[in-house]
Amino acid sequence: MTGRLKPRVDMLPSQTSFAGFIPNPGIDWPKDHEPALARVFAQNTINIAAPPEVVWKQLVDCMRWPNWYSFCSDVSILRDGPLLGPTSQFRFKTLGFYFEPEIVRYEPFRLLVWSAKGPAGTSGAHAWYIEPTSSGCHLVTEESQRGLLLSIIGHRTRKRLLTAHDEWLRALKVLAEKS
């Protein structure tokens, strides 16, 4: 042993950041958060028996997220509310951390993307992509994160994101299908 940390090959972005997932081509990522540059990439999908407009209405009403998404609390709109819009910035706590995302892509009933700085020099972007189907819509949520810290904790971070985003989608499905 030389006393140096051995790099974790399983965390190199060029090899496994997608972990078998193919980023949705309908998502227009911010330049610095494209999945190919990510240390962590997470993707979850679900079919919802409700039209895109109903799902969108729940997504842009971030102040209500804590009512139905357990991994979210302390939400406030910092700019351009009360619903998320093309130039909004908001604050919320998720997975133990506070974030202040800014909306960077906003196409009603189709695409919502925000980006934010995270702890210890990390940053990320989160995307929601809604595809209409004959029975409602197919909802894709993806997250791309960068930063040196993620070379150490990326695997755990990815697992936590997949779990939390799965719950977010399931709760959104229940809510939208009740509307």
Mean pLDDT of 5-19: 38
The domains of the chain are located at 35-178
Question: What pLDDT digit, counting tens, does each position of 133-147 carry?
Answer: 999 999 999 999 999
3-state secondary structure of 20: coil
19 confidence band (pLDDT: 50, 70, 90): low
Cβ neighbour number for residue 15 with a 10 Å cutoff: 10
- Kindly report the average pLDDT of the chain as a whole number: 89
Q: Taking Cα atoms as reference points, which of 23, 20, 47, 25 lies closest to residue 35?
A: 23
Quote the strand ranges of the chain, DSSP E: 40-48, 72-79, 89-94, 97-99, 102-107, 111-117, 123-133, 136-146
pTM for the whole structure:
0.88
3-state secondary structure of 6: coil
CA–CA separation, 34 vs 104, rounded Å?
13
DSSP state, residue 39: S
CA–CA separation, 138 vs 24, rounded Å?
12
**Is domain 35-178 given the CATH code 3.30.530.20 in the classification?**
yes
Q: What is the pLDDT of residue 21?
A: 79
At position 38, the amino acid (one-letter code) is A
At position 37, the amino acid (one-letter code) is L
